[in-house]
Amino acid sequence: MLVAVVSDERGGGELRPLDAAGRPTGPTEIVSDLAAAVASREAAEHPRWVWSTAGAVYPALLRAGVRVERCLDVELTEALLLGHAGRWGEPRSLAAAWARLSGLPVPPDPPPRPAAPPGHGQGALFDALPGPAGPGIDALTRVYEDQLARVAATEHPGRFRLLVAAESAGALIAVEMGVAGLPWRAEVHDAILAELLGEPSPVGGPPRRLAELAARIADAFGVRQLHADSPAELLKAFARAGVELPNTRAWVLRGVDHPAVPLVLEYKELYRIWTAHGWSWREQWVRDGRFQPEYVPGGVVSGRWATRGGGALQIPKVIRRAVVADPGWRLVVADAGQLEPRVLAAVSGDSRLAAAGGAGDLYAALARDSFAGDRARAKVALLGAMYGQTGGAAVPALAVLKRSYPTAFGYVEAAARTGEAGGLVRSWLGRTCPPGSAGFGDPDEVTDPDGAADRQSPRARAARSRGRFTRNFVIQATAAEWASTLLATLRAELAGTAAELVFFQHDEVIVHCPAAQAEAVAAAVGRSGERATALLFGDTPVRFPLDVSIVDCYADAA
């Protein structure tokens, strides 16, 4: 059963039952307490809720104690459909979709809200900004009906429906994880910072350890003072020492023989921790033992998640020591290893690579099959094929890969050639890459691992870089779909238990649960991975094993 829902600013809203084609099957119900109305129908009917976007409706329901089982997020669906039609980047809001259907001027999407740390006003973090009322329930149901027809017209409608369902489930999970928060021990965090950085400056400058390193760096260059956080000053200092560098990136510095280099590398690492996860960050983002960022499903063009504020997807390993389960609870941490190579094995139709993908260690299986037992060489070949590292030392390994697994090699090569010619490619479920004009795949977007771009014209460099982008897009976007489907399936497995999904990053998920439930949660994670594989790829010999750890502290996960 489907029920369309719109909310108003007073906590009320409208509900309308729909059939499978999106047509109304009953009158619209106007309610003054939307949370109560949704709770009643959820308990009695377990419908799939159709709304403009989960971020506008679900947070208020969740704060009222109402959790829903399923939804259809119209705005996320609109973005997928526009991309599929080659109209990537057009406004995706309900108002824009309704205007297109009505032949009216299409309004731009509203700008993203500024990131807001937890604390005063946290309850309204996801709420709609004040302004004129958006399109009503008539527009919502008409847009949804139109979307159903457009999904049915895609090349693989069954796959696309799974993509829409996983994306919509992700929208629910994002809100729930933002409300639940990641367990975070502020006192442990402060102890880590003191250990790494020393005491904070009483006047707001760099902490003691950074100040000491900056002085030692200046001494190594023979100057009285140097701002070690300034790339321009570092480049000038190296130049005065007779070392010309293109930039101060870590991989460039590691190739330089100068006494300042180890000091600069240490400074850069600690400076990043101080600015991104230091005392100021902790005071802003950790409240009542929880880190509560705002997650953005599909926030990256490949379908991977992003966050708005807090940098949740870039928590350094050393800082993970502050992520500690509550007393009597555990963290179940699951990580899908070798995800993208296994995706290539599943989607390419290469039976020999798929057979290797049935092993626990895909690279070792490839090594035994085609690389005389050399696992490192097998890994270089497979990653080179997926990421476009097709020159230099990778050439001999790639030749073996092409000869032994021609169908898999041809799959990513075809995606690259399509991109180089200016075409669009799709993931397994139908997510479509942005066009080159959107700025993805130009020479500045992807580094050239082979140095060949230096010998090409600007147009050839752009085509080569675009091909490298599309080559990986078909794999990375499909990997994101598998991970999203795993997450949606796991959410269903955990329904009705005390366990909470609290973190998701690319191919890693964390569940916070009572210690007595940890083993059951770990088993549920395994079943969810198997279910995600079956939903996407059917009866495939490729395995997608998950490394699962039950720990008190995130840093202790394998």
Report the run of H or E that residue 73 belongs to, with start and end: strand 70-73
Could you read off the pLDDT of 80-115 as tens digits, one per residue? 999 999 998 899 999 999 999 999 999 999 988 777
Asked whether residue 445 falls in the same domain as residue 504, the answer is no
Asked whether residue 206 falls in the same domain as residue 140, the answer is no
Asked whether residue 449 falls in the same domain as residue 355, the answer is yes
CA distance 358 to 544: 8
Asked whether residue 330 falls in the same domain as residue 204, the answer is no
CATH number reported for the structural domain that contains residue 72 in this entry: 3.30.420
Asked whether residue 145 falls in the same domain as residue 9, the answer is yes
Residue 456 has pLDDT above 70, yes or no: no
Asked whether residue 26 falls in the same domain as residue 126, the answer is yes
Q: Residue 205: its pLDDT value, please?
A: 86
Could you read off the pLDDT of 245-291 as tens digits, one per residue? 999 999 999 999 999 999 999 999 999 999 999 999 999 999 999 99
The total of structural domains in the chain comes to 4
Asked whether residue 144 falls in the same domain as residue 203, the answer is no
Q: Which domain holds residue 198?
A: 187-282
Q: Residue 444: its pLDDT value, please?
A: 35
Asked whether residue 126 falls in the same domain as residue 43, the answer is yes
What number is the average pLDDT over the span 173-177? 97
CATH number reported for the structural domain that contains residue 529 in this entry: 3.30.70.370
Do residues 297 and 480 touch, judged by C-beta distance below 8 A?
no
Residue at which a domain ends, from 441, 474, 507: 474
Q: Which amino acid is at 355?
A: A
Domain annotation covers residue 208: yes
Domain annotation covers residue 39: yes
pLDDT band at 128 (very low <50, low <70, confident <90, very high): very low
| Among the ranges given (4-18, 143-157, 171-185, 454-468), the one the predictor scored with the smallest mean pLDDT | 454-468
Q: Residue 204: its pLDDT value, please?
A: 77
Query: Residue 114 class from Cβ within 10 Å (0-12 exposed, 13-18 middle, 19+ buried)?
Result: exposed
CB burial of 311-330 (b: ≥16 within 10 Å; e: otherwise) equals ebbebeeebbbbbbbeeebb
Q: Which amino acid is at 54?
A: A
Domain annotation covers residue 402: yes
What number is the average pLDDT over the span 195-214? 92
Asked whether residue 400 falls in the same domain as residue 387, the answer is yes
Cβ within 8 Å of residue 55, ≥6 positions away:
126, 171, 174, 175
pLDDT band at 389 (very low <50, low <70, confident <90, very high): confident
Residue given tokens 């009953």 in the structure block? 26
What number is the average pLDDT over the span 453-457? 58
Could you read off the pLDDT of 282-326 as tens digits, one per residue? 999 999 999 999 999 999 999 999 998 888 988 999 999 999 999
What number is the average pLDDT over the span 165-186? 97
SS (H, E, C) 407-434: HHHHHHHHHHHHHHCCCCCECCCCCECC
Asked whether residue 326 falls in the same domain as residue 361, the answer is no
Could you read off the pLDDT of 414-440 as tens digits, one per residue? 999 999 999 999 999 999 999 987 766
Asked whether residue 16 falls in the same domain as residue 120, the answer is yes
Q: Residue 414: its pLDDT value, please?
A: 97
Domain annotation covers residue 162: no
Residue 145 has pLDDT above 90, yes or no: yes
Residue at which a domain ends, from 474, 509, 529: 474
User: How many residues appear in the chain?
Assistant: 558
CATH number reported for the structural domain that contains residue 192 in this entry: 1.20.1060.10
Residue 131 has pLDDT above 70, yes or no: no
Domain annotation covers residue 165: no
CB burial of 478-497 (b: ≥16 within 10 Å; e: otherwise) equals bbbbbbbbbbbbbbebbeee
Q: Which amino acid is at 449?
A: P
Mean pLDDT of the chain: 92
Cα 374 from chain centre:
32
Domain annotation covers residue 176: no
Cβ within 8 Å of residue 496, ≥6 positions away:
none
Domain annotation covers residue 177: no
Residue 547 main-chain phi, psi, to 5 deg: -85, 115
Domain annotation covers residue 541: yes
CA distance 548 to 367: 25
Question: Which pTM does this prediction carry?
Answer: 0.92
Asked whether residue 383 falls in the same domain as residue 329, the answer is no
Could you read off the pLDDT of 488-538 as tens digits, one per residue? 999 999 999 999 999 999 899 999 999 999 999 999 999 999 999 999 999
Residue 447 has pLDDT above 50, yes or no: no
Residue at which a domain ends, from 133, 153, 173: 153
